Structure 1
């Protein structure tokens, strides 16, 4: 069935809407078929191991169940047979070529509408001045002359202005005088290799009719050779516009010389993988989204270019129109294409009423390019939708799942990966050494490479930590998810004025996934009303519950009605409320793969958690101290985030007897009492461990172990009572973790491990409450891969720290906070040579900032003292490679030689002097 749907998806991609409707129906029935079979299998599995008499009674009941299951399967299969027959009529499965040919006229028309030409001039370009300057310098080798780039790529999401930018560079006078020959080739999704190569050769040689005919009769091999040789002999520039796939380049690459040549390629693409595939050492430029000021400037140019004369309107109308335009531009979020479409639409509307109406329907109007003759080209969704259409089948559900997040949300990669795995959308396609989590991460990374989502934050290890999605791309995602009945997103936060009944009676039956956002106290009432319109086929549910009193009733309703749930996320419950009892009906959710309720205390872990035989991720917080034996039945548990207010009895027994022992990757929140290290060492695939020391730590270590954590990469150790005088020896534990790259210690220690006792892979180290008497810097500065270091509260009890010559040669981020006894910090020459972020907070005894920092190219500096600071006469100039400067409770001046900090005692006086000779563009001050 998956293979069949994959073939049908090709027809949908070619624009056949009839097939699209049938595919949705078949997919829904496939889900129903899976639900029926899984439910029966789980019921049979749960009856195993019971007594003989009960087995006989269950056997007779099973005959009835088999009959019911058979009837359901027969009905579903009949529906699928009917619809597959319909699909075959449209060319699916029997002849995909015929189906594609039937839609080829549509594809050809769309391609022609999107065709870009080199000679077309756009005089209304905004925000690209620096981009043009940089790309021209690279092409003409004014920048980086000793290592010139052969391939320069412009990458970004659809509508960002890649082609416009490339055209400006292509037409630039400096570029025109630098190269001997030029050629522009529009590639698009369907690339005719022969036509592209012929067009480039025609452009190079300015051939007459006879020469053109000769080229047309030349074989493909000879044509590629002629182009290759020509570019070796002369200095040529080829612009390959809108190249989509690596396969396209593989078909073209034989015509382009490698190695020593003065010719260059400028290409535009939405897919960064394409740029890297063309040339691993090439330069990749990503245009930025326009700022509010740039957006307004572009809007004005395009609006008045359409023939609008502001002098013909009433001044009050103009003022109101400007207010409305500014509000609508926010929805464009700096995407040039959306701004251009908006300007074109508004140029056709002349009254305030029409503009008000436009504002209410801004998403649909911009997305569909309403009232444009060439709407297929002008529609934003048409352009952005191409990126979705070109996604391979396994990536489409990953993209559609983004519709579950609210607008402007920062999406955490780890969380989404676990959800995608729980839903069954991730399957191992690569090396057997990869995990499902690795595969899910690769899928999201590919969406980044395809410019469909933007990276928000990178982790210290260089992996994507979080990302966001452009507002209009999200609107497309929500629309596609709704059309395909994939996921429904309901945002009730801005519907305070509507009665509950009107909000909750939206027909959302037969829904597989539902995300609800609401911050009102009536959330629970709204949810109860909505549930009446949803059948039991729901697989995914995200709902915030704000009303504690109604919470248990809401959860009981969910557990009784939505028995097919695979993912249940309950969020936004205030942590400080009294404890909650989970209803016994929660054990009915036998298909559950992910259960997350981290912000509310539950009284106990119920025994019916053991019914969740397929559970993969569990995130709960409890006040009870017992893990039920039934949890050992969980066969697929991979991630356990378990926060308890007291010592958990039975955790060691659980780890020794659980059927998930070889699958567990995450253990967060467990305590050392009633646990020994050997229990953890048996978990061969454990990657992340966070433990609390609440008993005898020596007994936890329990004899020196020869075994080590072979796959552990993240370790956090915290002493439960940080105010007692107990000190622990962490060296044996550190030695058992030779591969970790993230370590957080929050406990008084007997001694700091030596350099050779730390993992050589350590990248991020955070220290709190260590109460060290000796300076830790001589040890820490020698860690070979350390990039992030935090020395926090009470970690160092001495008064002087020294970073010696050449120390911390790879450190990029350093934080010192709440080191009250620290008086002197020395930084010797060439220490901290790569430091990009520095934060000093609440180090009240520190007399001065080290002179050794004056030669460090620091990008981001944060200094904060709430009561006591440095003396006015003590200054330090720090070089800045621009970007961001955040200073708290400080006085700042800009000097000709860099940034001068003045920090006063006991007072907060803000004074900024900006000498004209020292102001540098791009420097941003955020003063709090």
Structure 2
């Protein structure tokens, strides 16, 4: 793992020789191709052959470097004896020599990368009209690299033979045994009693606001335990609003506040509230919850004592039985509390009693639910540290292609929701994915999920993974490796930035990064994950672009810019760019000089005008804007954006055969704007997209005159979503003929009629998911026999006027989920008898029971009766754990 930079450098040299690195291939006039080939040959010999003999030595070195981090914080490691094996002085000297050579290799890679980057920049500047430099001057940037790599190779060959006595897998197994030795497993009866106690606390506990903390013990998964209660039907009926929020080791209450707001408040107002001032948001949330009985779960809470004061500011106590459930990762968090008798909580006493301990925190009633007999101090020094170190070993054991993708995860905050699409794009931009293949990136993602380094937080309607997150323990383990290999550096770490760190991460405030002392850093990736919307001055942006001219990845996150940053057009290597420029209306011409750009993210920008030169950006794969208008291709230009696969959101004015016909690879397309005015162009041009799989149509005009029957959808379409289209004609007879359609979402104001009729026999042959949302006046729905034979999930929200569901639905054996919101009395009466239906009998005895869900209005008088009569298999749909 300590040779990670060299191995990635080898992959980059291969791309250079294949003409995939930089906008230009190597000029023949420079005679540099043989030099690059020699560099690649020598680098591969060192990386795959010579250093391969010292894998055990490098593993032990990394093991010891990570252990030193624990020593810095004076954390005892009960497995330290694993590293205490006696070694000869000769072994110590050899290992020191290996470490010195590895440091020299990293210096060599750093120098080589900078020289190659400088070389390509000179070529690109020459093409852009700058003064031509002499060929000898260009080659001067690369002189001496070959001799240096030869010298490193000779030094490695002079080392004594490697030591194969250190096995990471063996050490990992020993740590796992230490984790389980002498620790009693939680009995299932204890689990059930604990669930009853927690349930009683939530439903029948004190009338005032009560906080319950759940801690780990061996054999006890606190998250699964809490989720079991959170998803209980009685709990969902009892509380007016629920929220499940991850906190994690990187505590940021601004993000926690936003997540609570998104979970408990109506979606229609969330987008406005999120953009408000931090203090105002706290006031808005408190006022909203003042009239609610709420239940909030905070998962993965570490030693963030300030959380108590932060929560008191936004969570009112109205003596109505509201509850907060906190899943504690680090028990030191509880040392700020007191026992009921006033005794202070100590790390050596918190966990001795159980399962239920009463505490107090000022005006709040506080409880701890825990099973175990070990004092908290032991818990921290043994369970937590052993777990972290065990997972660190798991990182080392990964094959290299997964290892680099895994340690890259630490560029995100622990616990933060990560878009899987964004993650895959970043992996590709960083050169971690062979052949820039998104399919390969998705495979790596699934592998890391399978191995437990990533948790899934959201899935799309079709079941694919939409978002994920890295739990705190996994993040700490991953970051320990990333830090010691100089793979990434965080801005808020105390150490000075390291010379060879190529990736820099902002977690606090971006504005603090701009002092001149950072000017000598050679970085290839800069990512701002601060939750603060800092306003950046143009002079700072211009200086930033001058200092860091070798960037491949630039994500300025939520930082607000007034205009396109001056000098950004000189970042020739840029592959991934994300900016927040709400006022930008015209895409600057200079942006089109970034010919290596693959992903362009400006979701807050609504572009009315784009330059023709955008058609020169042949490597673009993803365009993500609030809205973007593409120009017609120049008349003398016959090429296309052949690699573009994702566009959101395209203005309907750009939906012409000439434009869409130049986008042969687009698979996902969102069109947003006046669909009525551009009806003719949009409806007849979509068929030009022969690979289109996902289409979203959002109308933004009033009144709408969209006519769906005029649309010519490509047969490749798999997912279709309509919003605000205000259709007057029944869309089902038109859409049921799409041969590959699997997901259909008819969202708010998509159809204004009262009747839906799926009349064709065998219509919707592949449909698996059907969402009917905000079709307020729908009162009749009919289906023909054999329609939707593969339907798995049906959501109708609301169904206030729908008198009955089609009887043909009960014949669909694949149906697993039926989610009805606010059904009227007549439909409720029909649903009460569903257990007596013949189709229900067909399910008995099967392993996977269908998941039927209903939701009723809060003021419904029939609620207790209906709940008592409907089967326990029916679930009330609210906010699920995220």
Compute the TM-score of the two structures, normalised by the length of structure 1.
0.59
Work out which of the residue numbers 636, 640, 643 in structure 1 matches 2:619: 636
**Quick one: distance in 1 between partners of 2:352 and 2:408?**
31
Question: Which residue is equivalent to 1:712?
Answer: 692
Q: Give yes or no for contact 1:803–1:831 (8 Å, CA) kept in 2.
A: no
Structure 1 residues 129 and 399: alpha-carbon distance in aligned structure 2, compared to 1, 3 A threshold:
farther
In the alignment, which residue of structure 2 is the partner of 1:473? 474
Equivalent residue, structure 2, for 1:747: 725
Conserved? CA contact 2:802–2:827, under 8 Å = yes
- Tell me what 2:527 maps to: 541
Q: Which residue of 1 aligns with 2:681?
A: 700
Does residue 384 in structure 1 map to residue 391 in structure 2?
yes
The CA distance in 1 between the partners of 2:176 and 2:866, in whole Å, is 62
Alpha-carbon distance in structure 2 between the residues aligned to 1:341 and 1:513: 42
Q: Per the alignment, do residues 790 and 849 of structure 1 end up closer, same or farther by CA in structure 2, a change over 3 Å counting?
A: farther
CA distance in 2 between counterparts of 1:20 and 1:731 reads 69
Give 1:91-240 correspondences, 5 Å limit.
98-99=161-162, 102-104=163-165, 110=171, 113=174, 124-126=184-186
Residue 839 of structure 1 deviates from its aligned partner by: 4.1
**Residue among 377, 396, 405 paired with 1:346:** 377
- Asked if the contact 1:509–1:533 (Cα under 8 Å) also holds between the matched residues in 2, the reply is no
Report the Cα distance in structure 2 between the residues aligned to 1:79 and 1:859, rounded to whole angstroms: 65
Q: 1:67 to 1:298 in 2, by over 3 A?
A: closer
Q: CA deviation at 1:868?
A: 7.0
- Aligned 8 A contact 1:13 1:390 in 2: no
Deviation of the 1:464 alpha carbon: 2.7
**1:439 match: secondary structure:** helix
CA–CA distance in structure 2, aligned partners of residues 325 and 402 of structure 1: 36
State the 1:114 CA deviation: 6.2
| 1:764 CA displacement | 1.6
RMSD: 4.8
Q: SS where residue 570 of structure 1 aligns?
A: strand
Is 1:422 the counterpart of 2:429 in the alignment? Answer: yes
**Alpha-carbon distance in 2 for matches of 1:444, 1:342:** 38
Distance 2:752 2:475 in 1: 50
**Which runs of 5 or more structure 1 residues have no equivalent in the other structure?**
92-97, 132-158, 163-288, 300-313, 327-338, 348-357, 370-378, 429-434, 493-502, 889-923
Q: Is the 8 A contact 2:730 2:753 kept in 1?
A: no
TM-score by length of 2: 0.62
CA contact (8 A) 2:172 2:394 kept: no
CA contact (8 A) 2:657 2:685 kept: no
The alpha-carbon distance between structure 1 residues 110 and 881, as it changes in their structure 2 partners (threshold 3 A), is same
Matches within 5 A, 1:255-334: 316=343, 321-323=348-350
Partner of 1:5: 47
Q: 1:683 aligns with which of 663, 668, 672?
A: 663
Aligned-partner SS, 1:596: strand
Aligned partner of residue 443 in structure 2, secondary structure = helix
Structure 2 CA distance, aligned partners of 1:424 and 1:925?
Answer: 34
Distance across 2 between alignment mates of 1:440 and 1:447: 11
Deviations 1:642-695 (A, max 9, x none): 323xx73x5332799586621111111111215413531342221111112526
Tell me if the contact between 1:510 and 1:534 (Cα under 8 Å) persists in the aligned partners.
Answer: no
Q: Summarize the alignment of residues 347-362 of structure 1 with structure 2, pairs less than 5 Å apart.
A: 347=378
Q: Is the 8 A contact 1:487 1:511 kept in 2?
A: yes
Check whether the contact 2:186–2:219 (CA below 8 A) recurs between aligned residues. no
2:142 is aligned to 70
Residue 451, structure 1, aligned to residue 455, structure 2: no
Contact 1:605/1:622, CA 8 A, preserved across alignment: no
Note the residue ranges of structure 2 that are not aligned, 5 or more in a row: 1-5, 11-43, 62-94, 192-216, 221-299, 303-323, 332-340, 354-369, 841-848
Q: Does 1:438 align with 2:445?
A: no
Matching residue within 469, 490, 505 for 1:515: 505
Aligned to 1:766: 745
Quote the residue 2:601 is aligned against.
619
Rounded Cα–Cα distance in structure 2 between residues aligned with 1:297 and 1:418: 31
Describe how 1:505-904 pairs up with structure 2 within 5 A: 506-518=496-508, 523-529=509-515, 532=518, 535-544=521-530, 546=532, 548-573=534-559, 580-597=562-579, 600-620=582-602, 621-644=604-627, 648=629, 650-653=630-633, 657=637, 661-694=641-674, 696-701=677-682, 708-721=688-701, 723-729=702-708, 732-734=711-713, 736-749=714-727, 750-752=729-731, 754=733, 758-768=737-747, 769-773=749-753, 775-776=755-756, 778=758, 782-793=763-774, 795=775, 797-802=777-782, 808-817=788-797, 822-828=801-807, 830-831=810-811, 834-841=814-821, 848=828, 850-851=830-831, 854-855=834-835, 859=851, 861-865=853-857, 877-881=869-873, 885-886=876-877
Per-residue deviation at 1:861?
A: 2.8
CA distance in 1: counterparts of 2:726 and 2:831, whole angstroms: 32
Paired residue total: 637
Between 1:863-872 and 1:784-793, the stretch displaced more is: 863-872
- CA–CA distance in structure 1, aligned partners of residues 190 and 789 of structure 2: 33
Give 3-state SS (helix, strand or coil) of 1:572's partner. Answer: strand
With 873-882 and 453-462 compared, the bigger mean Cα shift is at 873-882
Q: Do the aligned partners of 1:410 and 1:466 also contact (CA within 8 Å) in 2?
A: yes
Q: Rate the CA distance shift 1:424–1:676 in 2: closer, same or farther, 3 A.
A: same
Q: Between the two structures, name the one with larger relative contact order (CA 8 Å, sep ≥ 6).
A: 2
Distance 2:108 2:720 in 1: 45
1:126 deviation in Å?
Answer: 1.8
